[in-house]
Amino acid sequence: MPAIDTMTEQLASLTASRRQSAAWDAAYQEILAKLNRDGFLDQILPEGAEFPDFMLPSAEGRLVGLREALSHGPVVLQFFRGEWCPFCKLMLEALTESYDKIEAAGASLLALTPETGGLALKMKTRHHARFEVLADVDFGVGLAAGVVFKIPKLYRGRLDASGLSFPQRHGNAAWCLPVPATFIIAPDGRIAWRFVDVDFTHRAEPADIIAAIGQV
Amino acid sequence: MELSQVRYFITLCRTLNFTRAAEQCHVTQPAFTRAIQRLEDELGGPLLFRERNLTQLTELGRDMRPHLEAMLEAAEAATALAQAKRQHTSASLKIGLGPGIGASVIAPLLGEVTRVLPEVSIYFDEAGPSMLIDAMLGDALDCALLPDDCDLPERLNRWPLYTETAALIVPHAHRLARQNEVTARDILDETILVGERCGGFGNKLADITGYSLRLQRCNGAAAQMLDLVAAGLGIALLSERLSFGQEVKPCRFTEPDLTRRILLTAVAGRPLNPAAASFVKLCRARAFH
């Protein structure tokens, strides 16, 4: 029986197919070059730092807090770019499949998206996710974590041309996005582990997240 | 971008003075200037003109200011709400409701705010758009639900929430009460109660169809108009989302389509207390059907 591809393999194959388009590749390279040049990763909350407590609206319209979630065990905090992003879809699928194991390891998962207008719920129901999907309205928690960047010109042009209206989806015309960072937050509120990469096609593999929860 | 860089930039926008802004942020001026430069590198150009006696925002600075201000407020509000919940902080939430806009759509969201912040007091102010806009600008209201056909000043943020359709409200004994669908032709001989505080659907109908309708002015709130309908003074066109009680019957009004879009509005750049900020976020996060 052929082995099921890991999420990382699926992401790599999606990236390879996207990169065949020269225009997509140029926009992608522009993001990586810009964030690397700016030293973007240095400004993201490091391991050991306290993750500021927050409350945000959930997909179902409840206000969900970090501290509350931490009272039941470690929290995996995952930033997503949005409902439209094919790389996020792969990751959501993988996390949904792995959620039993994440829970068995004693943790819960909070997924954050900057999108508004019911898109958090759309994202959650499409993948039948059992974890909370929260709307990080106006990028507040993303900004506090240091994961938000302004989208460079080429990539913004591609989004615009594809008809994705970020001002409408975000309710904010900043044209920003978070990098899809993962934080594992210990019950004392400190960041025990993190995965950060300027490349949005690179994500924390669920198996690595589960192993890291075991170390908290 | 970093939270501190954004905070420094917004402070600088307000003071237009590097020395004073650095003092207000409790950092040395070199550290402050470096942070602003890093933000400029990330945003792709200078945010300020630095002249000896004059600091001014560049076009990029002016463009980015409202967005960065909203992001900074969101970061602070998300933390402030968590803190308010822990400390059982009391707060007031003052909401304006434009003409004929009911609170039933937002009631579940208010329920969520009071679950998290039980000490909150909720106030409603029902009035015309210009009065509600003035009240928001004067800080007497946190936010307001307004129809999208009113003139909104640039200082107000606006987010489309939902579209509402008019229903025809008749007494139970009325000949139309048994009809599944009602059109403009069915009400040519009826007295239609219209008032500025009830959504303006009656006047809109007259404008769209060009029919000479029998309009009766009734300048009260929806509750009074419903009393008059129940008493047989006429029929009314009101938002289908209002609660109508037992005395009258709402009928589907199908032609022409009388709809309007309802916006949530709030003053840009004004920080809201945790109750008001969480209400605005709950409204923006979800879709209303």
CB B99 within 8 A of CB B196: yes
Residue B93 has φ and ψ, to the nearest 5°, of: -125, 110
Q: Work out the percent of chain A whose per-residue pLDDT is above 70.
A: 98
Q: Work out the percent of chain B whose per-residue pLDDT is above 90.
A: 78
Count other Cβ atoms within 10 Å, centred on residue A195.
17
Lowest-pLDDT choice from A46-60, A134-148, B166-180? B166-180
Q: For residue A144, which residues of chain B lie inside 8 Å, CB to CB?
A: 3, 75, 78-79
Give the pLDDT score at B246: 86
Q: Is B56 exposed, middle or buried (0-12, 13-18, 19+ CB in 10 A)?
A: exposed
ipTM: 0.95
Q: Note if the pTM is more than 0.80.
A: yes
Taking the C-alpha atoms of residue A169 and residue A178, their distance in angstroms, rounded to an integer, is: 14
Name the residue with higher pLDDT: A13 or B55: A13
Find the CB nearest B2 among A55, A146, A150.
Answer: A146
Shortest distance between the Cα of A215 and any Cα of chain B, in A, equals: 27
Residues B285, A57: C-beta atoms closer than 8 Å? yes
Taking the C-alpha atoms of residue B79 and residue A66, their distance in angstroms, rounded to an integer, is: 10
Inform me whether the C-beta atom of residue B62 falls under 8 Å from chain A C-beta atoms.
Answer: no
Shortest distance between the Cα of A150 and any Cα of chain B, in A, equals: 6
* SS3 annotation, chain B: CCHHHHHHHHHHHHHCCHHHHHHHCCCCHHHHHHHHHHHHHHHCCCCEEECCCCEEECHHHHHHHHHHHHHHHHHHHHHHHHHHHHHCCCCEEEEEECCCCCCCCCHHHHHHHHHHCCCCEEEEEECCHHHHHHHHHCCCCCEEEEECCCCCCCCEEEEEEEEEEEEEEEECCCHHHHCCEEEHHHHCCCEEEECHHHCCHHHHHHHHHCCCCEEEECCCCHHHHHHHHHCCCCEEEEECCCCCCCCEEEEEEEECCCEEEEEEEEECCCCCCHHHHHHHHHHHHCCCC
Taking the C-alpha atoms of residue B70 and residue B155, their distance in angstroms, rounded to an integer, is: 13
Q: Is A48 exposed, middle or buried (0-12, 13-18, 19+ CB in 10 A)?
A: exposed
Find the CB nearest A67 among B82, B278, B286.
Answer: B82
The confidence band for B26, taking pLDDT boundaries of 50, 70 and 90, is very high
Residues A138, B73: C-beta atoms closer than 8 Å? yes
Mean pLDDT, rounded, for A170-185: 96
- For B218-248, the pLDDT digits (tens) are 888 888 999 999 999 999 999 999 988 888 9
Q: If you count them, how many residues does chain A have? A: 216
Mean pLDDT, rounded, for A47-51: 98
Give the pLDDT score at A4: 66
Residue type, B11: T
CB A25 within 8 A of CB A71: no
The confidence band for A39, taking pLDDT boundaries of 50, 70 and 90, is confident
Q: How far apart are the first and last CA of chain B?
A: 36
Inform me whether the C-beta atom of residue B182 falls under 8 Å from chain A C-beta atoms.
Answer: no
Mean pLDDT, rounded, for A194-199: 97
- Look at residue A3 and tell me whether its pLDDT is greater than 60: no
In the predicted model, what is the mean pLDDT of chain A? 95
Taking the C-alpha atoms of residue A72 and residue A86, their distance in angstroms, rounded to an integer, is: 32
Taking the C-alpha atoms of residue B260 and residue B241, their distance in angstroms, rounded to an integer, is: 12
Nearest CA in chain B to A56: B78
Residue type, B170: V
B82: its two tokens? 């968590």
Nearest CA in chain B to A175: B67
Shortest distance between the Cα of A151 and any Cα of chain B, in A, equals: 9
Residues B71, A62: C-beta atoms closer than 8 Å? no
Inform me whether the C-beta atom of residue B6 falls under 8 Å from chain A C-beta atoms.
Answer: yes
Mean pLDDT, rounded, for A171-175: 93
- Look at residue A2 and tell me whether its pLDDT is greater than 60: no
The confidence band for A140, taking pLDDT boundaries of 50, 70 and 90, is very high
Q: For residue A117, which residues of chain B lie inside 8 Å, CB to CB?
A: 284-287
Give the pLDDT score at B261: 95
Please report which residue ranges of chain A form alpha helices under DSSP H.
7-19, 22-37, 66-70, 86-104, 119-126, 140-145, 153-161, 166-170, 206-214
Starting at the earlier edge strand, list the strands of the sheet with A108-113: A132-135, A108-113, A75-79, A182-185, A191-195
Taking the C-alpha atoms of residue A49 and residue A64, their distance in angstroms, rounded to an integer, is: 21
CB B259 within 8 A of CB B165: yes
CB A185 within 8 A of CB A75: yes
- Look at residue B117 and tell me whether its pLDDT is greater than 60: yes
- Look at residue A1 and tell me whether its pLDDT is greater than 80: no
